[in-house]
Amino acid sequence: MSSTSSPCPKNPSYNSQLYASNDNRQREMNLKVLDLLQMAFAPMPTEDQQFLDLGCGTGDFTRDWLLPRCPPCRRLVAVDASVEMLAYARENCAHPSIEYDHLNVGDDVTEFVAKHGQFARVYSFFCLNWLKDQNKAMKNVSRLLLPSGECLLVFPAWSPTRMLWRKIAGLDRWKKFSSVRELHSFDCIHLILLGSEKSEFGYENHLYV
């Protein structure tokens, strides 16, 4: 980002209606990854476990595509940092097996864990790349998981879009819009290590990119 950029809002505001009508491409990518890796998860022996969708957005993918692909479960808790997204999800994508709640995984998750407990599985699709402090986010994912839990975390390892955003934000014509949110990426080499051995975050779960 340009040096004139203002910091990203902690709990961002979105036009949920506009997002819902333009997320087809991301939904397609989510489905490809989800269907490809479904068999990698361990069998779930009981139906009383709960799952978490981290960064549920408008909730349509959570209800229409993720929930049907989950093993039988007590509930799927779907969270987002945007109150606008959650309001849209509750109004338009309600389901008896889904509970929508507010959570920014970059913040302290202690109260959230006390309220909901830990999860047998955490899903996240194109959410973690919006968080600058990704070490903290990953540690929080670990806290959200049961000791035997698994996670499927999908995010871009690298994107040329970020370079384009920085260039545009530096132009005089667009500087007033230079608070556009930044994308962040993990070190790809570190991700390989995370997938093959116990990580610094203290858990041994599936991690996919």
Q: Domain 16-34+47-196's class?
A: alpha beta
61 HSE (CA, 13 A, CB side): 28
What is the rounded distance in angstroms from the CA atom of residue 4 to the CA atom of residue 124? 31
Structure confidence at residue 143 as a pLDDT band (50, 70, 90): very high
Judge whether 101 and 116 are in contact, CB under 8 Å: yes
Q: Give the chain's mean pLDDT.
A: 78
Judge whether 151 and 143 are in contact, CB under 8 Å: no
| pTM of this structure | 0.73
Per the structure block, which two tokens stand in for 40? 């990698």
**Residue predicted with more confidence, 166 or 191:** 166
Secondary structure letter of residue 175 according to DSSP: G
pLDDT per position as a tens digit, 38-80: 888 888 768 899 999 999 999 999 999 999 999 889 999 999 9
What is the rounded distance in angstroms from the CA atom of residue 31 to the CA atom of residue 93? 18
Q: Where are the domains of the chain?
A: 16-34+47-196
* Class of residue 198 by CB neighbours under 10 A (exposed 0-12, middle 13-18, buried 19+): exposed
Q: What is the share, in percent, of the chain residues with pLDDT greater than 90?
A: 44
Q: Which are the contacts of 148, defined by CB distance < 8 A and separation ≥ 6?
A: 120
pLDDT of residue 124: 95
Judge whether 101 and 79 are in contact, CB under 8 Å: yes
What is the rounded distance in angstroms from the CA atom of residue 201 to the CA atom of residue 181? 26
Judge whether 121 and 149 are in contact, CB under 8 Å: yes
